[in-house]
Amino acid sequence: MKHFLSIKDVTDLNQLITNGIAAKRDPFVNIGLGKNKTIGLLFFNSSLRTRISTQKAAQNLGLNVITMNVGQDGWGLEMEEGVIMNGDKAEHVKEAAAVIGSYCDIIGIRSFAGLQDREKDYSEIVFEQFKKYADVPIVNLESATRHPLQSLADCITIEEFKIKQRPKVVLTWLPHFKALPQAVANSFCEWMNPMDVELVITHPEGYDLAPEFVGKGQVIYDQDKALEGADFVYGKNWSSYQHYGQVLTSDPSWMITEAKMALTDNGKFMHCLPLRRNMKVADEVLDGPRSLVIEQAANREWSAQAVLREVLLGL
Q: Please check whether residue 23 is in contact with residue 90, taking contact to mean a CB–CB distance below 8 angstroms.
A: no
Q: Is 148 annotated as a binding residue?
A: yes
Q: Is 272 annotated as a binding residue?
A: yes
Check the annotation: does 249 bind a ligand: no
Which of 143-175 are b and which e, b meaning 16 or more Cβ less than 10 Å from the residue's Cβ?
Answer: bbbbbbbbbbbbbbbbbeebeeeebbbbbbbbb
Question: For the chain, how are helix, strand and coil distributed in percent, rounded to 5?
Answer: 35, 15, 45
- Please tell me whether 312 is known to bind a ligand: no
Is 243 labeled as ligand-binding? Answer: no
CA angle 208, 214, 218 (to 5 degrees): 85
302 is in an annotated binding site: no
For 64-115, list the strands marked E by DSSP.
64-69, 77-78, 91-92, 106-110
Q: Is 315 annotated as a binding residue?
A: no
Annotation-wise, does 277 bind a ligand?
Answer: no
Residue 49, marked binder: yes
* Order of strands across the sheet that contains 64-69: 64-69, 38-43, 106-110, 138-140
Q: Is 273 annotated as a binding residue?
A: yes
CA distance 227 to 154: 18
Binding-site residues for N(2)-succinyl-L-ornithine: 142, 176, 236, 276
Extract the annotated binding site.
Answer: 47-50, 75, 110, 142, 147-150, 176, 236, 272-273, 276, 300
Q: Annotated binding site for carbamoyl phosphate, which residues?
A: 47-50, 75, 110, 147-150, 272-273, 300
